[in-house]
């Protein structure tokens, strides 16, 4: 086994051991840890199927406990191309409509990649479990083409749109060492408390006007 793959196997087993010794979740790595800036390696049998499934379960439990809607392997200290995502959707009908935030069932994706699948970009506040306490507006494609593999090794090739596309793109970026702040409008940066107080609206038009940043041209709400 390649030394990098052996390291990944060790990282996976360390996370599983920690989860078994605790409450079934893993500690989330925060910004500043080098693993969050590392290009991940594809899954290529570094561990067996049972361990891989256990890792997916621990990552999902960690994501839900945080709480969050997505978690990539580097966020638990593993330099592996893998993420989990699950979103209950928006409870507010207006938010669901403006942000195109529909429920997304649990998905586990290995060796993920994406490309834009349309010309439209949309910009909304987003946050990250590895950068707790802060959010910023990020412009992302409204629709993306996702590729990868599922836990059983079956190929994934599909279009994802709306808020689900934002989640998938955010998590896939982690696999290339990219954090959401790298793509954010930094004038929009706000604490979670400030977002709740000032910028809780379904769209980001008011925030853009008052904080002085631009939204994608032609962005239709």
Hey, which residues are catalytic here?
171
Sign of CA dihedral 25, 28, 34, 37: positive
Q: Which residues pair with 148 in a beta bridge?
A: 156
**Burial label, 119 (beta-carbon count in 10 A; 0-12, 13-18, 19+):** exposed
**CA distance linking residue 46 with residue 51, whole number of Å:** 10
What does the block give as tokens for 45? 């049998």
DSSP one-letter code for 145: E
| Helix, coil or strand: residue 80 | strand
CB 51 within 8 A of CB 73: no
What does the block give as tokens for 131? 């950068």
CB 174 within 8 A of CB 199: no
The H or E element spanning position 71 is strand 70-72
Q: Which residues pair with 114 in a beta bridge?
A: 146
**Residue that has been written with the tokens 């990282």 in this structure:** 11
């Amino acid at each position: 086994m390649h030394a990098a793959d052996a390291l990944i196997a060790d990282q996976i087993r360390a996370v599983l051991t920690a989860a078994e010794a605790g409450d079934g979740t893993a500690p989330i790595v925060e910004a500043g840890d080098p693993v969050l800036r590392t290009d991940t390696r594809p899954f290529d049998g570094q561990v067996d199927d049972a361990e891989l499934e256990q890792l997916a379960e621990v990552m999902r439990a960690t994501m839900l406990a945080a709480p969050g809607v997505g978690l990539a392997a580097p966020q638990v200290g593993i330099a592996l191309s893998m993420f989990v995502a699950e979103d209950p959707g928006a409870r507010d009908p207006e938010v669901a409509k403006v942000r195109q935030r529909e429920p997304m069932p649990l998905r586990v994706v290995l060796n993920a990649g994406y490309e834009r699948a349309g010309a439209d970009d949309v910009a909304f506040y987003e946050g990250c479990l590895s950068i707790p306490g802060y959010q910023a507006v990020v412009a992302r494609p409204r629709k993306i083409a996702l590729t990868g593999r599922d836990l059983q090794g079956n190929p994934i090739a599909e279009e994802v749109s709306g808020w689900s596309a934002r989640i998938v793109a955010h998590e896939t970026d982690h696999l290339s060492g990219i954090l959401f702040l790298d793509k954010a409008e930094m004038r929009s940066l706000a604490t979670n408390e400030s977002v709740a107080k000032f910028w809780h609206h379904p769209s980001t038009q008011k925030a853009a006007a008052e904080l002085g940043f631009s939204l994608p041209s032609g962005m239709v709400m």
